[in-house]
Amino acid sequence: MHHFQYKGKELYAEDVAIKDIVAKVGSPVYIYSQATLERHFKAMDEAFAAVPHTICYSVKANSNLAVVKNFINLGGGVDIVSGGELYRALKAGVDPQKVVYSGVGKKDDEIEYALNTGILMFNVESEQELTRISEIASRMGKKAGIAIRVNPDVDPQTHPYITTGLKNAKFGITIERAIEEYRRAKDLPGIEILGIDCHIGSQLTKVTPFVDAIKKLKNVINTLKGMGISLKYFDLGGGLGIQYNDEAPPLPADYGTEILAETKDLGLHLLFEPGRNLVGNAGILVATCLYTKQRDEKNFIMIDAGMNDLARPALYGSYHGVKPVVNDQDGVIVADIVGPICESGDFLAKDREVPMFKQGDMMAFMSAGAYGFAMSSSYNSRPRVAEVMVKGDRFEVVRERETVEDLIKGEKVPAFL
Ligand code: LLP
C-alpha cells in the first residue's frame, strides 16, 4: 500500500497534486510520501513487537537525510556499508548503538571512524577483516563489537546481481570457516563477540529462503554455545521484496510470523536491515515527455529522465509501473520509454503498453523509492534531479536539483595546460 493515488484524473502524493510539485520544483523529480515510509516502517516493527528487536534501515536503498531521519524518529537504527553512510546517519541523529556496519571492503579509516563513533557492531565479512578490526581497535584501546556474516549457501531465488547468500558470492564467511573464526575471535584482543549475521539477497518474494538460512545459522549458534560462546544479537539482514508488477511478496506480518516461529526459543535480540521494503513503494520518479517518434512499427517516447536518474531498468531489466500524472491521454500505445543518454540501454520501460503520451505530458515511474536516486549519477553531465518529501498537504525539497556548477565541483585544469 502506498499513498500515490488518483483524485479524479490527477495523480496525488498524499494530499498534494504531483503536477503542483513539478510546477514548483521542475522535472524530473523524485517524490517520497512520508505517510508511506512511516506505514512501512511500522508494519515491519510491529511484526516483531513480541520480541526484543531493532529495525536497522539499510541506508543504501535511499540515503536522503530526510528519509533516514524519518526512520530514526520512529525508533529505527541503520545498516551502513561505508563511512559516508555513517556520516549521513549521524547527521540524521542516529543512536550509534543502533548502527550495524556491513560490507566486504571496510577501509582502515572507516573502521576507525566507526570505532570512534561507538557503533553497535561490525558485520565481519572475511577472516582478514576480523584481524584488521581487532588490530585497529586494540591500537585505539577499544573493543569492537562484532557479528560474523555467515554465508549460508541458500538460494534466495532472485536476480543474480542481488543474490548474496550463495557459496560463490563474495559476501560473508562460509559456515565451516565461521565457526573457526568465532573460535579465533574469542581470543583476539580488540574483539567482543556480540552476534551472528546473514543477508542472503534482495527482492525476495518468499519466506522459505529466509527460514532455510535461519535453520542453518541456528546450527552455528548451537555449536558456538557448545564452545562457550554465547551471542546477544541475531541479525537477519534485509531482502524482503515488494510488488513492482505482479509479484506477490509476503506481508511483513507474515514474514514476521514465520521468522518468530523459527527464532523465538533462541532468546536473542533480533536485528533487521530492510531497505527496499521500507522505501521502495514510498517513492516515485516523475518525468516529462519531450518527444515521441514512430519507426518501423516501434514507438519511442523520449523523456527528460534517463538511466542516470533511474538505473534499475538498464541494469537489471527491472519493471517500474508507469502512470500518467494527469490521466487525459487518448488511448494507449506500445512503446519504449527512453531517456536522453547516448546509450541504447537507456530505457525506463520497454515494449510497454502505456497511455498515448504526447509532448509535455508528465508520467510517474512507480516503486522508485529504493535504489532510485541512491544509484543515480551525473553521466552525460546531467545534474542529478531534485528530491521532494510530501507529508499530508505539505511538501518540501529534501535535496536541491544539482546545477551545472555542481557538476564541475572539485575539478581543476592543471597549471601545465
Ligand atoms: N543488508 C545488506 C548487507 C545488504 O547488502 C542489503 C542490500 C540490504 C541489507 C538491504 O536489502 P533490501 O532490504 O533493500 O533488499 N540495487 C539493487 C539492490 C541491491 C541490494 C544491495 N544490498 C536493486 O536496485 O534492486
Residue type, 314: A
The angle, 0 to 180 degrees and rounded to 10, between the axes of the packed helices 34-47 and 252-263 is: 30
Q: Which residue CA neighbors atom 16 of ligand 1 most closely?
A: 371
Q: How far apart are CA 249 and CA 330, in angstroms?
A: 34
Confidence at residue 100, expressed as pLDDT on a 0 to 100 scale: 98
Given a cut of 90, whether residue 157 has pLDDT beyond it is: no
283-295 and 269-272 strand pairing: unpaired
40 lines ligand 1 (CB under 6 A): no
For residue 167, is pLDDT > 90? Answer: no
Q: 188-208 pLDDT, tens per residue?
A: 999 999 999 999 999 999 999
Atom of ligand 1 nearest to the CA of 375: 16
Q: Which three cell numbers stand for residue 402?
A: 544539482
The closest-lying atom of ligand 1 relative to the alpha carbon of residue 241 is: 15
Q: Which ligand 1 atom sits nearest the alpha carbon of residue 311?
A: 24
Task: Give me the percent of the chain exceeding a pLDDT of 70.
Answer: 100
Place of cell 499513498: 3
Q: Note the pLDDT of residue 166.
A: 77
Residue 168 has pLDDT above 90, yes or no: no
- Please tell me the predicted confidence (pLDDT) of residue 271: 98
Q: What is the pLDDT of residue 361?
A: 98
**Cell 562457550, residue located:** 228
Q: Is the CB of 273 under 6 A from ligand 1?
A: yes
- Per-position b or e across 375-388, b if 16+ CB within 10 A of its CB: bbeeeeebebbbbb
Q: State which ligand 1 atom lies nearest to the alpha carbon of 201.
A: 15
**pLDDT of 395:** 98
**pLDDT of 229 strictly over 80:** yes
CB-based contact 59:52 (threshold 8 Å): no
274 annotated to a ligand binding site = yes
Grid cell for residue 139: 591500537
> Strands 386-391, 394-399: parallel, antiparallel or unpaired by DSSP?
antiparallel
At residue 165, does pLDDT exceed 90?
A: no
58 lines ligand 1 (CB under 6 A): yes
Helix (H, G, I), strand (E, B) or coil at 258: helix
CB-based contacts of 15: which residues, under 8 Å, 6+ apart?
Answer: 390, 392, 393
Q: Quote the pLDDT of residue 389.
A: 99
User: In sequence order, what are the residues at sequence separation of 6 or more whose Cβ sits closer than 8 angstroms to the Cβ of residue 22?
Assistant: 29, 286, 288, 325, 362
> Is the distance from the beta carbon of residue 162 to the nearest atom of ligand 1 less than 6 Å?
yes
Is 275 near ligand 1, meaning CB less than 6 Å away? Answer: yes
Whole-number pLDDT of residue 228:
97
Task: List, for residues 285-314, the tens digit of each pLDDT value.
Answer: 999 999 999 987 899 999 999 999 999 999
According to the model, what pLDDT value does residue 156 have? Answer: 84
What pLDDT sits at residue 50? 97
| Ligand 1 centroid from CA 277, angstroms | 10
**Angle CA(96)–CA(390)–CA(399) in degrees, nearest 5?**
60
What would the pLDDT profile of 366-391 be if each residue is shown by its tens digit?
999 999 999 999 999 999 999 999 99
Which 3 state secondary structure label does DSSP give 337? strand
Query: Could you read off the pLDDT of 303-342 as tens digits, one per residue?
Result: 999 999 999 999 999 999 999 999 999 999 999 999 999 9
- Cβ atoms of residues 313 and 303 within 8 Å: no
d(CA 331, CA 226): 68
> Alpha-carbon torsion 154, 50, 54, 222, what sign?
negative
What is the 275 CA–ligand 1 centroid distance (Å)?
A: 6
What's the confidence (pLDDT) of residue 227? 97
Rounded CA gap, 296 and 298, in Å?
A: 5
C-alpha closest to that of 388 among 22, 11, 98: 22
Give 42-86 pLDDT, tens digit per residue: 999 999 999 999 999 999 999 999 999 999 999 999 999 999 999
Residue 239 near ligand 1, beta carbon < 6 Å:
yes
Q: Given pLDDT bands bounded at 50, 70 and 90, which one contains residue 124?
A: very high
Mutation to probe ligand 1, out of 41, 56, 58 (largest number of atoms < 8 A from CB) = 58
Label residue 331 left, alpha or beta by phi (over 0 means left) and psi (-120 to 50 means alpha): left
pLDDT confidence tier of residue 214, bands split at 50, 70 and 90: very high
Q: What is the pLDDT of residue 1?
A: 80
Q: Kindly state which CATH superfamily the domain 103-272 is placed in.
A: Alanine racemase (3.20.20.10)
Catalytic residue list contains 56: no
| CA–CA distances in Å: residue 19 to residues 11, 26, 292, 406 | 8, 9, 21, 26
Report how far Cα 178 is from the mean position of its chain's Cα atoms: 26
Report d(CA 398, CA 379) in Å as an integer: 22
Cβ(252) – ligand 1 distance below 6 Å: no
CB 333 within 8 A of CB 294: no
Three-state SS string across 57-123, please?
EEHHHCCCHHHHHHHHHCCCEEEECCHHHHHHHHHCCCCHHHEEECCCCCCHHHHHHHHHHCCCEEE
- Maximum pairwise Cα distance, the chain: 71
The answer to whether residue 161 scores a pLDDT higher than 80 is no
Domain segments of the chain as ranges: 4-32+280-407, 103-272
H or E segment and range at residue 54: strand 53-58
Q: Is residue 312 annotated as involved in ligand binding? A: yes
- The pLDDT value recorded for residue 217 is 98
> What DSSP designation does 184 have?
H
Catalytic residue among 56, 198, 289, 342: 342
CATH placement of domain 4-32+280-407: 2.40.37.10
